[in-house]
Structure formats: structure tokens, C-alpha cells
Amino acid sequence: MDERKIKNFHHEGECPVRDILCRFGDKWSVLVLVSLKVNGTLRFSELARSLGDISQRMLTVTLRSLEQDGLVERTLYAEVPPRVEYALTEMGRDLMPHIESLIAWSLDHTSQILSNREQFRASSPISKPSAE
């Protein structure tokens, strides 16, 4: 029997790679970062408009998470009414070339991936209607 040493990708307790990469696996974080990169500093309402269908609560949660990670900075101006602006931090700007590479790869392969999905669905016994 082959006794290969299998590398494990699980960790007892917290896994730093999984913990950090899961931030970018949600629906909105990458889009928030890209919007701030493309548009520069934005107020909350401007950022919401740039994303379209994000709820106010989800944008708030996403921004807090990105701020907590040090990728986005929030600046509160003591005005009436208060003004809050969001911008990428230096670390957030440092991340953007990597995200942009992933976006470029996605755009380059979109049609192939969609075609592969369709072929898979067509050949999958689960997706075919039963002959009754």
C-alpha cells in the first residue's frame, strides 16, 4: 500500500490562511474594495450606489469587517450632519493588484467556465429529468 505523506489543510484551532481568505469569499468584500480602488474615497451612500443592490446593513457589516482587517479606513468628520468617508488603507492598496489579477483571470475564463457548467449539468444524471 502506498504510504504517501498527505499534506493537510486543516488546522487545530484557527487557520490563518483560511481565516484571511474567507474574507474575500463573501459576496461583497471584493466589490467594496474594487469600488474604493476605482472611485477613491467615498461616502457611505456613494459606495452603496456604486454597488447597486447591497443592503445598508450588509454594507455596514462588510465595511466594519474590512476596517477591522485594516484594509479600509473610516474617517468621521465632526460636522452637522456628521460626514463619514471610506478609503483603502495602504495595506488595502497593496492587496489590489492581486484582486485585479483574479478579476482579469475571471473575465478571461468566464465563457469557458459557463460552458463547462452547462456541459456538466447536461451530462449529470442528477440534473436530468426522470423518465416516468
For 76, the 3-state DSSP assignment is strand
Q: Hey, what domains does the chain have and what are their CATH numbers?
A: 16-123 (1.10.10.10)
Q: What angle do CA 121, 18, 11 make, to 5 degrees?
A: 110
pLDDT at 19: 76
pLDDT at 32: 97
Low-confidence ranges of the chain (pLDDT < 50): none
Q: Distance between CA atoms of 50 and 121, rounded to whole angstroms? A: 34
Phi-psi category of residue 76: left, alpha or beta, with phi > 0 → left and psi -120 to 50 → alpha: beta
Preceding peptide of 81 cis, ω within 30°: yes
pLDDT at 124: 83
pLDDT at 9: 66
pTM of the model: 0.78
